[in-house]
Amino acid sequence: MPVSPATTRQRILDAAIRVFARKGYHDARMDDIVAEAQVSKGGVYFHFPGKERLFLAIIEHFAGLLEERLTQAIAAEQGGVQRVTAALEAGLHTFAEYRALAKIFLVQAVGLGERFEHQRLALNDRFAALIRTYLDQAVTEGDIPPMDTEVTAYAWVGAIYELVARWLLTDQPPLERLLPGLRAVLLRSIGLNEPSEGGRDHAL
């Protein structure tokens, strides 16, 4: 049975994720990805004309996955505070579950040049905008005090990225401390002492 182009493309992406995670961007070669994917070189170049395009596609793939997870988590909640908390927890769990992808996004994509940096910043903007939307809702509903939600959202993104990047490189602090500890700090930054509202527990 013929393999669909979408299946082949995903196979190449999965192989590239493994290669980049092992070797890093600079040491990875397209031939390594061809061998890992077990797809012809022409097939790989048909979908991705070069290493840079493939790397950017991986970053976009992870951003889409992260946004999908956040959206699903938020849809299951009511109210700004619960949605902000759900988005935070879903983001942290996604970074932990997709460690190789997270390493490419948070560690390897840093310092690769202006094109990569513009892509990273655009994806950061998407993440921050999602958080800001529900911070604004929580302010409107009176659940948290008035604040500069734009600055707060970017501060959250920065804190999440910094701690997760450290964990990806060193395994420290361990996840059992990182996830609840970061959540508690970020929620306190918007005037909440507990990660729950209305008696519902949001423990990680």
What is the per-residue pLDDT across 142-179, written as a single tens digit (0 to 9) for each?
889 999 999 999 999 999 889 988 988 899 988 888 88
pLDDT of residue 90: 86
User: What are the distances in angstroms from CA 6 to CA 31, 38, 42, 43, 195?
Assistant: 21, 15, 16, 12, 40
Give domain limits for the chain. 1-49, 58-188
**Fold match, 1-49 / 58-188:** no
Backbone angles phi, psi at 109, to 5 degrees: -75, -10
| Span 7-36, average pLDDT | 91
And the tokens for 8? Answer: 């082949």
> 1-49 adopts what CATH topology?
Arc Repressor Mutant, subunit A (1.10.10)
Decide: 64 and 57 in contact? Cβ < 8 Å: no
Q: Does the pLDDT of residue 203 top 50, yes or no?
A: no
Phi, psi of 28 (to 5 degrees): -75, 140
Superfamily name with CATH number, domain 58-188: Tetracycline Repressor, domain 2 (1.10.357.10)
